[in-house]
Amino acid sequence: MRTYTMKKIQGVPDWSAHEVLPIDTLLWTDSIDVTAQAQICYDEENFYLRLAAKEPHIRMECKDLLAEVCEDSCLEFFLQPTDRVDYFNFEINPNGAIYLGYGRDLPSLIRLIVPEVQELLDIQVEFPEGGWALTYRVPFAFIRRFFPEFNPVQGGKVRANFYKCGDETVKPHFLAWSPITCEEPAFHVPQDFGCLIFGG
């Protein structure tokens, strides 16, 4: 299980000042020509994330609210904010289309239809040479709608994982930050999430 201590910030994130977390555990496939990474920090009101991928064949077909964005090039953040087993999954493709879920495992997953979700999360997508990247925030006020006990204090912890996938891309692939132990393709395995610590 991987562990990372997040920096607390004031103002707009300066991503050059934050450690890069490699999404580099290759799962259920042979070698691929895709790499990915994540960065995360927080302030008094939000998590801030930047995820990026290098991939030669970007797939970005899904656009509507109910699209299965994991079929496209997709970068994902799974977050278990408290000791409860429930977690969120934020799955976003290069169009900024999002699959936002909540549950304790895949069979119990509830798809959340949030009005103006792109604005709530402030999803921004860019296309640097050879790939794509996205930045967004996760407001603590949104987390507390489901986890009113969520309390992000220095030294506290949450469980999380970052993923890169592309189920219907030219070369289907599955990558994780914190390794997954199951033998069949599945990202909904909170027992394998890593640990994020609230730093100073």
Compute the distance between CA of residue 142 and CA of residue 137 in angstroms, rounded to an integer.
Answer: 11
Number of Cβ atoms within 10 Å of the Cβ of 89: 23
Report the Cα–Cα distance between both ends of the chain, in Å, rounded.
22
Strands (E), the chain: 3-6, 21-22, 25-26, 35-42, 46-54, 74-80, 87-92, 98-103, 110-111, 124-126, 131-139, 157-165, 174-176, 194-198
Compute the distance between CA of residue 106 and CA of residue 111 in angstroms, rounded to an integer.
Answer: 11
Burial of 60 (0-12, 13-18, 19+ CB in 10 A): middle
- pTM beyond 0.75: the answer is yes
Number of Cβ atoms within 10 Å of the Cβ of 117: 18
Compute the distance between CA of residue 132 and CA of residue 192 in angstroms, rounded to an integer.
Answer: 27
Ordered by where they begin, the domains of the chain are 3-9+19-198 (2.60.40.1190)
Q: What phi and psi values does residue 28 have, to the nearest 5 degrees?
A: 65, 10
Q: What phi and psi values does residue 167 have, to the nearest 5 degrees?
A: -60, -35
What is the chain's pLDDT, residue by residue, as a tens digit (200 residues)?
999 999 999 999 999 999 999 999 888 887 789 999 999 999 999 999 999 999 999 999 999 888 899 999 999 999 999 999 999 999 999 999 999 999 999 899 999 999 899 899 999 999 999 999 999 999 999 999 999 999 999 999 999 999 999 999 999 999 999 998 877 768 989 999 999 999 98
3-state DSSP of 77-106: EEEECCCCCCEEEEEECCCCCEEEEEECCC
Which pLDDT score, from 0 to 100, does residue 199 have?
A: 97
Compute the distance between CA of residue 25 and CA of residue 179 in angstroms, rounded to an integer.
Answer: 6
Which pLDDT score, from 0 to 100, does residue 122 have?
A: 97
